[in-house]
Amino acid sequence: MEKLLNIPDVTVEKTEINETGDVIITVRSTCEGTCCDRCGAEINKPYGHGREVMLRHLSVFGRKTYIRISPPRYQCACCEGSPVTTQKASWYEQRSPHTGEYEKYILLQTVNSTTEDVSVRENLGYEAVTGIISRRIAAEAKWDEIKRIDIIGTDEISLRKGHKDFVTIVTSLTQGDILILAVPGDRKKETVRKFLKTIPKRLRKTVRGVCSDMYEDFINAAKEVFGKRMRIIADRFHVAKLYRKDFDGLRKKEMRRLKKELSEEEYGKLKGAMRALRKKKEKLSDEEKEVLKRLFGYSPDLKLAYDFCRELTDIFEEDISKSEAKRKIRIWKIQVGVSGLNCFDNFLKTLKKRHNEIINYFTDRQTGGFAEGLNNKIKVIKRRCYGITNIENLFRRIFLDLRGYSLFAS
């Protein structure tokens, strides 16, 4: 029976079912002695038992189950006044109304779920569930449990939709394993720098690169902490977002022009153009190819810009060296300049300013996709949990969704 309960150092004395149908299992500690609360010495002189406690445990046959125990007490002969200490067991925490096994089970249930759902399923108070999460999951990274950090990723997310209450999400990628490191209070350089400085020196030495969007405060904070030699990598997906945004500006401009110049019937034949322009060329249907052919016939500039977008995307998808990428991007810039197009002016300014960070991607083709993917996961967490505005709770929920199964699944 003791093995089934998975509770060490106890023996079962009695099992009963109370009037509400709950299973009550009375156990007795088989350990002798404890450590004095005052001096820390081992003490073995019995002094009765402490007050009886009832602890929620894993359900048995669908019934709520409780462990009942009166922990033994011991008296210290070394301390003045012979104080008494109640024995502390390894399988539950004092002042907790649950066993450790039950709390691990609750944490596992919260992975990819909501606190409210777990509360209802387990017939456990909402505050009890949040208490377990707060008690068992730290609100910050435990550096002593982290052996190395290969790549640090920084991204941002708004706590509330439509508000500008941005916070920074700092993550790490080590041998394919993603770990949440911190949720600093905002995205200011000083806030991010202050956190990065808390990373122990032994771990800072293991960092091979910092992957980020091109937000200046993130980049400058990383340079100040890790030094100018640290490889700062502009996430290629953020880079693509910039030049595609410029292209989309031209698309909107041309579509407005064509709507004025074309008949309603002819303009109607361009329906679906936006979707087709955003798809990969090899995934276009015959109908979409025809729409693009018609559109480009009306707008040669849009065709030229479209080809430039595709060409730059192809460069980032090629398995080429950093020097070769630098050469190809330089040629691309020259060709855009010669073409007379000005739709990419904003991107070209960014490319000039963040050239090194953008080119660094080609060193080992490291992207911030892991950070961006986590960003999307956080959005799901926020929707699922009806919005989380407390950054400590946000950290805990991200940690649970990333590591919960590996830590608490038996």
* 309 pLDDT higher than 60: yes
* Residues 247, 330 share a domain: yes
* 385 pLDDT higher than 70: no
| Domain membership flag for residue 231 | yes
| Domain membership flag for residue 334 | yes
Mean pLDDT is lowest, of 234-243, 335-344, 379-388, 401-410, for 379-388
Report the share of the chain in percent with pLDDT over 70: 96
Q: Looking at residue 376, what is its pLDDT?
A: 73
**Could you list the residue range(s) of the whole structural domain that residue 83 is in?**
1-92
* Cβ count within 10 A of residue 48: 11
Domain total of the chain:
3
| Domain membership flag for residue 119 | no
| Domain membership flag for residue 104 | no
* Residues 212, 196 share a domain: yes
* Residues 251, 159 share a domain: no
Residues 262-284 have pLDDT tens digits of 999 999 999 999 999 999 888 99
Contact 193, 185 (CB under 8 A): no
For residue 245, which amino acid is it?
Answer: K
> Beta 23-29 vs 34-35: how paired, if at all?
unpaired
In the chain, % helix, strand, coil (3-state, to 5) comes to 50, 20, 30
Q: Looking at residue 186, what is its pLDDT?
A: 87
Distance CA 113, CA 133 (A): 13
Q: What is the mean pLDDT of residues 352-374?
A: 80
Residues 102-156 have pLDDT tens digits of 999 999 999 988 888 999 999 999 999 999 999 999 999 999 999 999 999 988 8
Q: Looking at residue 256, what is its pLDDT?
A: 97
Q: Looking at residue 163, what is its pLDDT?
A: 61
We report the CATH number of the domain holding residue 195 as: 3.30.420.10
- 373 — pLDDT class (breaks 50, 70, 90): low
Distance CA 62, CA 166 (A): 44
Q: What is the mean pLDDT of residues 60-87?
A: 95
Residues 44-65 have pLDDT tens digits of 999 999 999 999 999 998 899 9
* Residues 254, 188 share a domain: no
